[in-house]
Amino acid sequence: MPLPSVIAIDGPAAVGKSTIGEKLAERLGYLYFDTGVMYRAVAWAALQRDLSPEDTAALSALAETLDIDVVPPTVSDGRQYTVLVDGHDVTWDIRRPEVDAIVSPISAIPGVRQALLGPQRRIAAHGRVVMVGRDIGTVVLPDADLKLFLDASVEERARRRFRESATRGDAVPYAEVLAALRERDRSDRDKPISPLRPAEDAIVLDTTNLSIEEVLAEVERIIRDGALKAEDD
């Protein structure tokens, strides 16, 4: 049965896109690529250079010159991949609260998005890829074979993010995590460029009360049903 070669997964912060995307790619034998780490890498680099999130020209130039690479895990510490910026491992650095606080406005800068769009599309062009982000189905890969939009209540997403940070021994108070996610949601949905929203032809899944395995089972059912339909056509 034919399977979708390019799968786009979008959704808000801490909804589980990365976990589902990685596990799905593993089961299908596909490449897993989370585009959000690219924007986080730019935000981290901006902090290192004391650049303001409002300095759009400097940030666009920075995004053009950074050497951002995503490779299989190089350390067994629970990471899904290793993120390198100019050869420096920033995998966990880009998950810090100070990066959370500025990544949304930085990711809304047209020059930054344009600088990263080409590399993202080149990866997808090879096919057999699960690409995860917030505008994959709407902007980056509007012709993706399958578009999924994962959602969950902000409270549940905050609990997931809180547990994740606690597991790493880097616990942030739950109230702080919840407030940050609410602000992130507002910023992502209100941004003038590539706002967070499902593509018109995306399948929306509410994962609030679902385990990872239950979400994966539903996604696999969608893929299986789509493959059967394509075979019938």
- The pLDDT tens digits of the residues spanning 184-204 come to 899 889 888 788 999 999 999
Specify the residue for token string 């507002």: 186
Residue 226 predicted with pLDDT over 70 = yes
Q: Rg of the chain over CA atoms, in angstroms?
A: 17
What is the spatial distance between Cα 18 and Cα 111, in angstroms, rounded to a whole number? 25
* Least-confidence region, from 25-34, 125-134, 161-170: 161-170
pLDDT digits (tens, 9 = 90+) for 141-174: 999 999 999 999 999 999 999 998 888 787 789 9
Which run of H or E residues covers position 100? helix 97-107
Specify the residue for token string 């990685």: 22
**What's the rounded mean pLDDT across residues 88-104?**
94
Give the torsion sign (CA, 10, 5, 144, 84): positive
Task: Assign 231 a pLDDT band (cuts: 50, 70, 90).
Answer: low
pLDDT of amino acid 1: 55
Residue 232 predicted with pLDDT over 80 = no
Q: Fill in the amino acid letter for 194.
A: S
Q: Is 98 in a helix, a strand, or coil?
A: helix
What is the spatial distance between Cα 77 and Cα 225, in angstroms, rounded to a whole number? 36
pLDDT greater at residue 56 or residue 227? 56
Residue 112 predicted with pLDDT over 80 = yes
- Give me the residue spans of the domains in the chain: 6-215
pLDDT digits (tens, 9 = 90+) for 49-84: 999 999 999 999 999 999 888 877 899 988 877 889
pLDDT of amino acid 209: 97
SS3 of 62-80: the string is HHHHCCEEEECCCCCCCCC
The fold of the 6-215 domain, in CATH, is Rossmann fold (3.40.50)
Strand partners, 85: 68, 88
pLDDT of amino acid 27: 94
Task: Assign 227 a pLDDT band (cuts: 50, 70, 90).
Answer: low
Percent of the chain residues past pLDDT 70, beyond the cut:
97
Which run of H or E residues covers position 131? strand 129-133
Contact 7, 20 (CB under 8 A): no
Q: DSSP secondary-structure letter at 31? A: E
Q: Fill in the amino acid letter for 139.
A: V
Give the torsion sign (CA, 83, 88, 89, 95): negative
Percent of the chain residues past pLDDT 90, beyond the cut:
69
Q: Is 88 in a helix, a strand, or coil?
A: strand
Nearest one of 30, 188, 193 to 110, comparing CA atoms: 193
Strand partners, 8: 131, 147
What integer best gives the mean pLDDT of the chain? Answer: 91
Residue 134 predicted with pLDDT over 80 = yes
pLDDT of amino acid 230: 64
Q: DSSP secondary-structure letter at 82? A: E
Specify the residue for token string 């650049």: 51
- Strands of the chain (E only): list them: 6-10, 31-34, 68-71, 82-85, 88-89, 129-133, 146-151, 203-206
